[in-house]
């Protein structure tokens, strides 16, 4: 890895609250704004980029509007299986996939990074690890999400002999894309990226999306940091976050994101990206109808 001199940087953070269709825009705006400001407060107080992205993402995990933590989408089997990852520009990283019954998967991902020599823990193993680390049982299902799932399943079944409910459900999945994420640079120039999701609604039990796959939904290296949202299967195939980091080697975050989104569009991948390059420039883009995002740079707050 190339070494670079770290000079004092202006603390910067960009957060995203998911790409796709947003029905409750005000709530999304409040959520991403609050997360960006909370993360920026950490940075202004001299905190690390890692602490800032964890604060921002954990805050969004606690807001039921977002599809992550409390408020996560339910699987076809009625389960909540969450994915989360965190990564630093020195390639330190930790992730959990298909984890159930915890409040903040991003905090567990951080523990994977800091307390194990692994990158990714999944399912029951991830849950056992979380309990060993002191994370208490928590039911992330909200009544609203349960009702949504039941309603869709009723709709799908109406008047039909349903043998393969999953095949029918796949037609409905794209309507609720969503993930949250944050990328930050602290005063030392260090960059961190974090992403968290409840996955696609009505996904098959055991499905894992792009979010916890290092290089797909979350990535950071000496070029910058990236958090992705959107259609996980397609994002994984394009290794979109790592590609965006490669693009940032010779371009600003915005130019790199634009290039990655053009590629995604050509390949039929509905998604959104937020990024920060090593000079502290923010980049964001999406090819879905909308993406909720907010950033604070040079002391100014911008909300979608």
Residues that bind ligand GLY in the complex, under the rule CB under 6 A: 179, 197, 199-200, 209-211, 217, 229-230, 232
Token output for 126: 């991830």
Indicate the SS3 state at residue 122.
strand
Nearest distance from residue 56's CB to ligand GLY, in Å? 17
**Extended strands (E) in the chain:** 12-20, 82-88, 93-99, 120-122, 180-185, 191-197, 218-221, 224-230, 271-277, 282-286, 290-297, 300-303
Q: Which is nearer to ligand GLY, 61 or 210 (CB)?
A: 210
Nearest distance from residue 198's CB to ligand GLY, in Å? 8
Nearest distance from residue 64's CB to ligand GLY, in Å? 17
Catalytic residue among 65, 70, 179, 244: 179
Q: Is 254 exposed, middle or buried (0-12, 13-18, 19+ CB in 10 A)?
A: middle
Q: Which is nearer to ligand GLY, 39 or 198 (CB)?
A: 198
Nearest distance from residue 4's CB to ligand GLY, in Å? 31
Residue 233, H or E segment: helix 232-238
Clarify whether 188 is annotated catalytic: no
Q: Which is nearer to ligand GLY, 11 or 272 (CB)?
A: 272
Neighbours of 298 (CB within 10 A): 8
Residues serving a catalytic function are 179
């Amino acid at each position: 890895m190339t070494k670079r001199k770290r000079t004092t940087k202006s603390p910067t953070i960009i957060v995203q609250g998911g790409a796709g269709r947003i029905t409750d825009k005000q709530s999304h705006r409040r959520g991403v704004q609050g997360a960006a400001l909370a993360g920026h407060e950490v940075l202004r107080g001299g905190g690390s980029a890692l602490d800032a992205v964890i604060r921002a993402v954990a805050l969004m995990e606690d807001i039921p509007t977002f599809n992550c933590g409390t408020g996560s989408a339910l699987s076809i089997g009625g389960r909540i299986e969450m994915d989360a990852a965190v990564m630093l520009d020195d390639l330190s990283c930790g992730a959990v996939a298909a984890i159930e019954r915890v409040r903040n998967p991003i905090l567990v991902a951080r523990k994977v990074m800091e307390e194990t020599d692994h990158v990714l823990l999944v399912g029951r193993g991830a849950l056992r690890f979380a309990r060993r680390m002191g994370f208490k049982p928590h039911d992330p299902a909200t009544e609203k999400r349960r009702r949504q799932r039941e309603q869709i399943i009723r709709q799908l079944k109406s008047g039909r002999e349903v043998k393969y409910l999953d095949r029918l459900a796949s037609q409905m999945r794209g309507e609720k894309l969503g993930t949250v994420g944050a990328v930050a640079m602290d005063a030392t120039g260090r960059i961190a990226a974090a992403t968290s999701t409840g996955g696609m609604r009505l996904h098959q039990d055991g499905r894992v999306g792009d979010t916890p796959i290092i290089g797909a939904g979350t990535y950071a290296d000496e070029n910058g940091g990236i958090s992705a949202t959107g259609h996980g299967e397609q994002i994984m195939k394009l290794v979109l976050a790592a590609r965006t980091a490669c693009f940032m080697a010779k371009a600003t975050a915005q130019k790199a994101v634009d290039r990655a989104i053009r590629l995604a569009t050509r390949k039929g991948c509905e998604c959104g990206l937020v990024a920060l390059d090593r000079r502290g420039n923010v980049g964001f883009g999406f090819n879905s109808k909308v993406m909720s995002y907010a950033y604070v740079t040079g002391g100014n707050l911008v909300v979608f």
